[in-house]
Amino acid sequence: MDGNGRWATRRYLPRVAGHKKGVDALRHCVRHCGERGVKVLTVFAFSSENWNRPPEEVSGLMELLAVALTREVPHLKAEGVRIHFVGDRSALSEKVRAGLLQAEAATAGNTRLVFNVCFNYGGRWDIAQAAARLVERGEPITEQSLDAAMGLAHVRDPDLLIRTGGEQRISNFLLWQAAYSELYFSDKLWPDFDEAALDEAIADYARRERRFGRTSQQIQEPVAKKAA
């Protein structure tokens, strides 16, 4: 979800105003995913590197998380959304940590949409923490065991990875899990990324051929056989 700061700056507003607008965009996005039948939505809300931002922006983002937790959980419950937080919680305040647990517990029974919020998350952090966990348990490190020790082990790898804000890079997001994700870059700033923009991304995804290392012919064969 990139572009909140620029959205605000263009309007001569403080950057935090852009983040606030970003929460509104996220609320709409979650709702629309539920309506479109999307089963899993994972968002990058705060990266391990975002601590390097000006202190007032970091505290503004923490405050926004705390407010959003109390305000949004009733909506999530009503819409059948199960929330998970993924990331290093040790650096977060006691109050925020309690809020995360509460939100997870309050929505644990929901099954319509799994909503993962990556907060104080980094793809490299996730790989390293998974490896450290296995070492601690004395387990061998394999693709399968690492996969099962990752922060997103409860969901399958993402089919589609969207980045807004015009930048074309991964910025330490799902490094492990995005191995075969379709990448989609939108020039829209995150607060402007509305339902129509999400539909456009999904439509673009639907036109892609996913081969997972195989040939185009191999992918089309089963379809041809079925039709015959």
Q: Report the binding-site residues for Mg(2+).
A: 2, 182
Q: What is the pattern of x (binds ligand IPE, CB under 6 A) and - over residues 209-228?
A: --------------------
Q: Which is nearer to Mg ion, 107 or 120 (CB)?
A: 120
Binding residues: 2-7, 15, 19, 47-49, 51, 53, 163, 169-171, 182
Instruction: Report the site for ligand IPE in 16-55 (rule: CB under 6 A).
Output: 19, 46, 50
Measured at the CA of 78, the angle between CA 69 and CA 201, to 5 degrees, comes to 80
CB of 46 to ligand IPE, least distance (A): 6
Interaction mask 118-157, ligand IPE, x per CB under 6 A = ----------------------------------------
Task: Tell me whether residue 37 or residue 55 sits nearer to ligand IPE (CB atom).
Answer: 55
Does residue 42 contact residue 159 with C-beta atoms inside 8 Å? no
Residue 1 binding result from Mg ion, ligand IPE, none, given CB thresholds of 5 to 8 Å by partner type? ligand IPE
Reported for 104-109, long-range contacts at CB under 8 A and 24+ positions apart, including other chains, are 106/73, 106/76, 106/77, 107/73, 107/76, 107/77, 107/81, 107/82, 107/83, 108/82, 109/82
Residues that contact ligand IPE, how many (by CB under 6 A): 11
Q: Which does 121 bind (CB under 5 to 8 A by kind): ligand IPE, Mg ion, none?
A: none
For Mg ion, the closer CB: 2 or 79:
2
Chain position whose Cβ is nearest to ligand IPE: 5
Position of minimal CB gap to Mg ion: 2
2 scored as a contact of Mg ion (CB under 5 A): yes
Residues that bind Mg ion (CB under 5 A): 2
